[in-house]
């Protein structure tokens, strides 16, 4: 599984539409009808984010997340799918244990809040 994740990660880096930017905030994530789990964002891009957690869900799992977007004041609800996982405390690339989430359809207001926050992070080049 580790080799597959590393190959998949390299493929994602080549396919990525936007830069990953450091962003850390607490969040809740859960599969439908499951008790939410706490995690922390690690980085964010226009198409998704990486969540630090010691218990990453299986690849392909559909999740709902609730968190504060960069420079936001409220909370956004995001649905997406687990695109890749890191199971080591910190892998050789410096990525902690957790998972990459690819955004699904976003409500207009939540998508706008995420886009504005990402643009602000990009303008400041680095995040929180």
Q: What is the pTM assigned to this prediction?
A: 0.78
83-115 residue pLDDT tens: 999 877 656 666 688 999 999 989 999 999 999
Task: Return the pLDDT at 54.
Answer: 87
Q: Domain residues for 77?
A: 2-124
Task: Return the pLDDT at 89.
Answer: 67
What's the total number of domains in the chain? 1
Q: Which residue has the higher pLDDT, 72 or 32?
A: 72
Evaluate the CA torsion angle 119, 123, 41, 2 in order and state its sign: positive
Phi-psi label, residue 36: left if phi above 0, alpha if psi -120 to 50, beta otherwise: beta
Task: Return the pLDDT at 87.
Answer: 79
State the Cα–Cα distance between residues 95 and 84, nearest whole angstrom.
12
Task: Return the pLDDT at 93.
Answer: 66
Give the CATH number, domain containing residue 66: 2.40.10.220
Average pLDDT over residues 57-86: 94
6-64 residue pLDDT tens: 444 444 444 557 898 999 999 999 997 778 999 999 999 999 999 999 889 999 999 99
Q: Which residue has the higher pLDDT, 16 or 70?
A: 70
Q: Which of 79, 76, 87 minimizes the C-alpha distance to 23?
A: 76
Q: Is the confidence at residue 1, as pLDDT, over 60?
A: no
């Amino acid at each position: 599984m580790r080799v597959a994740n590393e190959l998949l990660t390299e493929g994602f880096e080549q396919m990525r539409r936007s830069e990953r930017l450091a962003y850390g905030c607490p969040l809740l994530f859960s599969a439908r009808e499951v008790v939410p789990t706490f995690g922390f964002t690690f980085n964010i891009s226009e198409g998704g984010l990486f969540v630090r957690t010691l218990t990453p869900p299986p690849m392909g799992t559909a999740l709902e997340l609730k968190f504060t977007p960069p420079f936001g004041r409220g909370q956004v609800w995001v649905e997406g799918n687990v695109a890749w996982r890191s199971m080591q405390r910190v892998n050789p690339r410096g990525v902690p244990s957790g998972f990459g989430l690819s955004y699904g359809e976003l409500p207009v207001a939540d998508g706008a809040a995420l886009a504005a926050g990402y643009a602000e992070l990009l303008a400041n080049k680095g995040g929180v």
